[in-house]
Amino acid sequence: QKVTVEVLDRLEHLALVDFRDAEGVERLQKAIQFADQLHEVNTDGVEPMDSVLEDRCLYLREDDVTEGNCRNELLKNAREKVEEYFVAPPGNIPLPKLEERETFLQGF
């Protein structure tokens, strides 16, 4: 069962990461094949495990401000900023569709 171009395209959209070449797509195919071995295991009646610490209560601290006031420190690492803002390119513009995007998947 090969992964369809539609799904590959969807993954590039969701992950915002590209397959780059046939090897990248093959890598995913192999990963799925490998993961399919899980279906050999009988998990009837077994609850999924989120964390090994599931029997304990996570620590919750008091809702008090104890740190902060480090705006300058944090802004230091951003490449594009204006005064106290991180600057992003225009939002609400979806990634171009497959046909219009520069992606290896175009030729697929």
Partner 1 sequence: ALKGGSRFQVSAALKEGRVTPTELCQRCLSLIKSTKFLNAYITVAEETALKQAEESEKRYGRGQPLGVLDGIPVAVKDNFNTAGIETTCASNMLKGYISPYNATVVQKLLDQGAVLLGKTNLDEFAMGSGSTDGVFGPVRNPWSYSRQYKEKSVPKSHSEDEESNWVITGGSSGGSAAAVSSFTCFAALGSDTGGSTRNPAAHCGVVGLKPTYGLISRHGLIPLVNSMDVPGILTRCVDDAAVVLGTLAGHDPKDSTTIQDNFKPFELPNLTDVSKLSIGIPKEYHAPGLSSEILSLWSKAADLFKNAGAKVIEVSLPHTRYSIVCYHVLCTAEVASNMARFDGLEYGHRSDMNKSTESMYAATRREGFNDVVRGRILSGNYFLLKQNYENYFVKAQKVRRLIANDFVKVFGSGVDILLTPTTLSDAVPYMEFIKEDNRTRSAQDDILTQAANMAGLPAISVPTGLSERGLPVGLQFIGQSFQEKQLLTVAKWFEKQVKFPMIELEVKRHNHGAFQHQKSASLS
Closest CB 5 distance from partner 1, rounded Å: 14
Least Å distance, CB 83 to partner 1, is 15
The first and second tokens of residue 26, run together, are 């093959």
CB atoms within 10 A of CB 73: 8
**Whole-angstrom distance, CA of residue 32 vs CA of residue 56:** 34
Of the two residues 5 and 95, which places its CB atom closer to partner 1 in the complex?
A: 95
Query: Three-state DSSP class for 67?
Result: coil
Residues in contact with partner 1 by the rule CB under 8 A = 3, 7, 10-12, 14-20, 23-24, 27-28, 30-32, 34-35, 37-41, 43, 46-53, 56, 58-61, 70, 73-74, 76-80, 86, 88-91, 93-96
Complex with partner 1: residue 47 or 107, whichever CB lies closer: 47
Distance CA 52, CA 65 (A): 30
Are the beta carbons of 58 and 71 closer than 8 angstroms?
Answer: no
Residue nearer to partner 1 on the CB measure, 91 or 107? 91
